[in-house]
Structure 1
Amino acid sequence: MELEVKLQAFEGPLDLLLHLIEKNKVDIYDIPIVEITEQYLDYVSKMPKDDLDLASEFLVMAATLIDIKSRMLLPKEIDENGEEIDPRAELVEKLIEYKMYKYAAVELRDMQVYAGKSMYKQPTVPEEVSKYEPPVNLDSLLADVDLNKLNDIFQMVLKRQVDKIDPVRSKFGKIEMEEVSLPDKISYVSTTVKKRKKCKFKQLLEEAHSKVEVIVSFLAILELIKVGEIEVRQDATFGEIYIDSIE
């Protein structure tokens, strides 16, 4: 019984070379030409010789590989710029170009398959809507408009916005009402003086966070003096003013 060997079908010699490169997991820019040539010739020797046109293409590529292999055994060739000429460069360019077209063909095939599974809805736009024409033709309206004109219009709009700003009122700050209650401040001053026994008038005012709070604090001290809860004394002229609690 004869042994039948079933070989994978390739679309051409470049397809076979690309298969061998991917199978051996080598860099396409640095092809081990000796190993790839041996594998290629081994495959070609097992190919059926029925189709002479197809077989001739593989034989031409085999001759090319053998030529590259022999050139790599010779001393390096130098080009006009003094750089080494790689005998594999032309073959690498063809392989990369073939690989790009092959991947593009796969993408187009997938798009065709997906398109065959798509369902489209027939247009159901009312006749009145389909016949509608916009009152202004934007293409003709903007026919003479370029980037310079658009920039001029943009700068003009910005200038109008600046002209609308009042130069005086725009510098006004925001007036906010401070929540400072006189009864709360009276309670705070009374508690603070009783706790400290002896408190400086200046110290109470310095604890305020705003002018309004200073004024309210001063009014609170006057009110407590009026009702007889505290007394104010000054031991010397221009000296420190002290606030004492009246038990």
Structure 2
Amino acid sequence: MGGERSVGIPVMAPVDDSTARAESAAPAVTFGDGRRPESRTQVQMAEFDGPLALLLALIEARQLDVLTVPLGALADAYLDALGRLTADRLGNVSSFVAIASQLILIKSRAMLPRRTDPTDPTALIDEGADPEAELRARLILYRIHRDAGLRLADEALRRIGLFRREPATAHAAGLAGARPIDAPALDPRRLVRALDRLAAIAPPPEPPPEAMARMITITERAAIIRAALREAPTCVLQDLLAGVRDRVVIAVTFLAMLELMKRSEIVVEQAVPWGPIVARVTTADERAAAGVDEVAETPLDESLASFA
């Protein structure tokens, strides 16, 4: 009818089944076993069931839409699970905060319109680096290090019991009589006997022969000087000590010559400094002048009290 006005009835848009399931199913968080917090944190949602690290990997690979992740409900479930945790809260909290902050930033930017046309004044300004790209780069780097660690662990397990020797070490072992690798196994009884020989208590070494102290007396050295003067009118001290290397013998011989001088038995002369020391027997007049009537070859004073 031309006079009637048509009234529009609003029609509700159909709700996406995946979104309804994501909103109806509350996320659940549990902590399992693992070395890293993001690996041992298990997340259960309508669209995902697995570790938190895998959730990031799927978002990074664009296999899971970040808009389907209920971050609020996920945070509540995480706090509930954290409240039941009795140990190692710090590592789990720091890991979740770092990951959740990235997810929130990615989701907020995904929900807001991007400025595709710089000339469009109605579009929002898109400033700063893309956090999704930054997270993707971090995850790629993390995967590289993780895969390298797994390969190194497999290689270490494969080489258990194997030891590599450098060529110089192997050559030295060959010179020392080491057995080659392909040699037949030794009898364990030989090893037991070798260990028994090593563990046997060795007898104590024999004591060294007793060293007898060498006695050099002034009387003995004076007798040598007297004997030399009986054979010749004079004797030189340097000639008496020719070939002698013992300093004690040299010192005692010199003391014996001084003692004979004090007893007026001999006269000692040295023409020049550091020159020959010449000794001769005293004459009768020299002994009379010294108040000595007769020279008796009596033992000398070994205490050197006369030199005090």
TM-score, normalised to structure 1, is: 0.36
Structure with more relative contact order (C-alpha pairs < 8 Å, separation 6 or more): 1
Q: Which has the higher helix share?
A: 1
Question: Which entry has the higher C-alpha Rg, 1 or 2?
Answer: 2
- TM-score of the pair, normalised by structure 2: 0.30
